[in-house]
Amino acid sequence: MRPFDYERATDTQGAARAAEDGATIIAGGTNLLDLMKLEVMAPERLIDITRLDLKRIDETPEGGLRIGALVTNSDLAAHPAVRRDHRVLSRALLAGASGQLRNKATTGGNLCQRTRCYYFYDTDMPCNKRQPGSGCQAIGGATRLHAILGASPQCIATHPSDMAVALRALGAEIEIEDTGGETRRLPLQEFYRLPGDAPQHDNTLAPGDLITAVILPAPVPGARHVYRKVRDRASYAFALVSVAAVARMDEGRIGHIALAFGGVAHMPWRDGAVEDLLAGETPSDALFAEAADLLLKEAQGHGGNDFKIPLTRRTLKAVLREVCSAEDAA
């Protein structure tokens, strides 16, 4: 590990200004410290924000939740309001990492974690995400964990977060503060970006932007929540495919449906056309197969991850059967 300067932030504006000046924000450090040890990232200055007042979970006037950026994954998963009203989020968090890591990992840090692509972590290999213009060794290489949707010739990596997949299904927004103390809200779908020609940029944060909270809207009354994660082993493994689903049945028809997918793209994936197809319809295997066809119409495997296309199809259909069933999925 290379030498670096370490400071503790005393307020959010100070942390934002330090980030604008090139410092790297650290909270739980569950991803960043690994990257520093491997010299994938070598920040010259770290700003520790763990003493900032960002550890609260509060109800919003609209009936949702405001989750501070420093709330740990363990505390978020166990919060009574999350377990009652946003069950898909609690389930996704408990499906991620180990108990020890969830005790340290923070809400804001989880959103900003980097890909777990083998080649990104190996500094002897070319990687456009780590060194723009060097090439993508994953294309033509070991691709078991890699993307089938939204990739580009520059990068086929996936985003590893379980939490972000559930947040995408719940319609979450990110609260961001800048160096002047001004805050803005950004829908999660506008926070992440696809690789395109600039895969080194995982999200749309500008220098000096600091995530201060995640905002959840009011829960959908009577909705069922399902989170299914398919992985190589029962615990502490990243998703090959995951699906977060929130649905409400109205007189035998699908009155509300929100679906988000993990393990398949550079960002938590959500396809509005698939939800539009399902909304208002009577559940059936034929309908679910049509939804899977629509979701995967532009899917592309890269050899080692070809299996993800039929796996995503089967997983989506199984989740839809469960979340649209007559039995309560709570």
Tell me: the pLDDT tens digits for 277-295?
A: 999 999 999 999 999 999 9
d(CA 172, CA 270): 13
**CA–CA–CA angle 208, 209, 210 (5° rounding):** 115
Nearest residue to 60 via CA among 192, 219, 188: 219
The residues near 266 (Cβ < 8 Å, ≥ 6 apart) are 115, 147, 150, 151, 155, 157, 158, 159, 192, 193, 194, 195, 199
**Would you say residue 328 has pLDDT above 60?**
no
Report the chain's mean pLDDT, rounded to a whole number. Answer: 96
pTM over 0.85: yes
For residues 291 and 261, what is the distance between their CA atoms, to the nearest angstrom? Answer: 13
pLDDT of residue 236: 84
pLDDT at 107 over 50: yes
The phi, psi pair for 132, rounded to 5°, reads -50, 135
Q: Tell me the pLDDT band of 144, cut-offs 50, 70 and 90.
A: very high
Q: pLDDT tens across 186-242, in order?
A: 999 999 999 999 999 999 999 999 999 999 999 999 999 999 999 999 888 999 999
Q: Is the pLDDT of residue 297 over 80?
A: yes
Q: 75 near 102, Cβ under 8 Å?
A: no
pLDDT, average across residues 63-81: 98
**pLDDT given for residue 173 in this prediction:** 98
Q: What pLDDT is stored for residue 327 in this prediction?
A: 60
| Full DSSP string of 168-180 | HHHT-EEEEE-TT
Please tell me the predicted confidence (pLDDT) of residue 326.
60
How does residue 330 score in pLDDT terms, banded at 50, 70 and 90? very low
Residue 106 has a pLDDT of 98
Structure confidence by residue, pLDDT tens digits, 150-195: 999 999 999 999 999 999 999 999 999 999 999 999 999 999 999 9
Alpha helices in the chain (DSSP H): 12-20, 32-37, 73-78, 80-85, 87-94, 99-104, 107-112, 118-121, 163-170, 188-191, 272-278, 285-295, 308-323
- Please give the average per-residue pLDDT across 27-48, as a whole number: 96
Which of 93, 107, 104, 96 lies closest to 28, judged by CA?
104
Q: What does the radius of gyration of the chain's CA atoms come to, in whole angstroms?
A: 20
CB 285 within 8 A of CB 325: no
82-104 pLDDT, tens digit per residue, is: 999 999 999 999 999 899 999 99
For residues 72 and 156, give the distance between their C-alpha atoms in angstroms, rounded to a whole number: 29
C-alpha 46/C-alpha 6 separation (Å) is: 5
